[in-house]
Amino acid sequence: VAHPPEPPARRVIAHLDIDAFYASVELLRRPELRGLPLVVAGSGPRAVVTTASYEARRYGIDSAMPAARARVLCPDAVFLPPDFTVYREHSRRVWELVRGSVDVLQQVGIDEGYIDLSGVEGPLRVLRALVADVREATGLVVSVGVGPSRLVAKTVSAAYKPEAFVAMSREQACERFAGAPVRILQGVGPKTAERLAAMGIATVGDLQGRPEAELVPAFGARMARELRGRAHFHDASPVETVRVAKSRSNETTFPRDVADHAELEATLERLAADLCAGTRAKGVRARNVAIKVRLDDWTTVTRARTLDHFTADTATVTAVALELFRAYAPARPVRLLGVRLAAFADAAPEAASGSGDEGEARGRNDPGQLALPL
């Protein structure tokens, strides 16, 4: 068996993507900028581009690019700082509308989502109406890709946006994208693309034609199978309507590298305090505390500790974060610091225990959990 079987019932999956979301929202309140190259990016020396309008993309500007480079590529572009509060509000309105007409929606990030329309009568008609409704109500344009899987739907919307509305079967996708770079496949990032290139695999078609066994030495059995499956646009992953967060984090990149440990510790305390406040606001507690340190040479180090109880207490988390930091004591200037909370208490069973602020962790040596002969 070369690939996992597709689910028995034919699925209809759509991927929705708001075109140039941040830039489009900015244009809603600054219509006089329409038609100009527009770049939404932070202002610091290390800022990156969060969104470029399609006019700006013509200059080679794209998301995640250093803002400094974008300024070189197009000095005349309009640069605006991101306003996430406004973007979140527009996003909320869009996805509320979508939720109003379809049941199975998985929102992915602020501007994307997957819909499962299997069993829905006239799915394309429903989607057409939805796109029109969103446009009318919000002024935002949604690109749509449709296929038998998330992979096909996502690849199609990305290939045809902006203002995309295209449906394709798996077989059609195999043919249509055979000449495209492997990088268009979700899960193939820069590193994997580079390793594939070293094997003479540049396009999706190249990958389609390569026996799985030839990929195993370089990528391992699991990844080899995954890569080949994706090249043939096999994907049975479900549209998940409920996903529970597994971690929360707070990190910051300094405008300039910092070597002073007192300043670093002060930053760590601030990051931990903000993170704990947000975590408490969510009514969540965690028992794993981690720090992240990126040095001036871009090496990234993480240190973590699992506690014997769940917490979102600022003093507790800060103390652990500081301990981890002091034990590591970076010898080089620091570029980035972060604090992370993970291993959350399961809401339902923990709530049922009716305990107070600091719940007991269910560790592997917890005698309450294990019937050990004593």
| Residues near DNA, by CB under 7 A | 42, 45-48, 50, 63-64, 66, 68-69, 72, 108-112, 154, 185-193, 220, 222-223, 245-253, 288, 290, 298-306, 335-336, 338, 342-343, 361, 363-365, 372
* Choice between 241 and 306, CB closer to DNA: 306
Q: How far is the CB of 141 from DNA (least distance, A)?
A: 16
* Choice between 22 and 120, CB closer to DNA: 22
* Choice between 120 and 334, CB closer to DNA: 334
* Choice between 120 and 340, CB closer to DNA: 340
Q: How far is the CB of 60 from DNA (least distance, A)?
A: 10
Q: How far is the CB of 13 from DNA (least distance, A)?
A: 14
Contacts 24+ apart (CB under 8 A), 250-253: 250/274, 250/275, 250/278, 250/338, 250/339, 250/340, 251/292, 251/336, 251/337, 251/338, 251/339, 252/336, 252/337, 252/338, 253/46, 253/294, 253/335, 253/336
Q: At what angle do helices 84-101 and 123-138 cross, to 10 degrees?
A: 150
Q: How far is the CB of 119 from DNA (least distance, A)?
A: 26
* Choice between 42 and 359, CB closer to DNA: 42
Sequence-ordered list of residues with C-beta below 8 angstroms from that of 368, at least 6 positions apart, any chain: 360
Catalytic residue among 6, 32, 89, 112: 112
Q: How far is the CB of 262 from DNA (least distance, A)?
A: 20
Q: How far is the CB of 351 from DNA (least distance, A)?
A: 20
Residue 240 among the catalytic residues = no
* Choice between 154 and 234, CB closer to DNA: 154
Just list the catalytic residues: 112
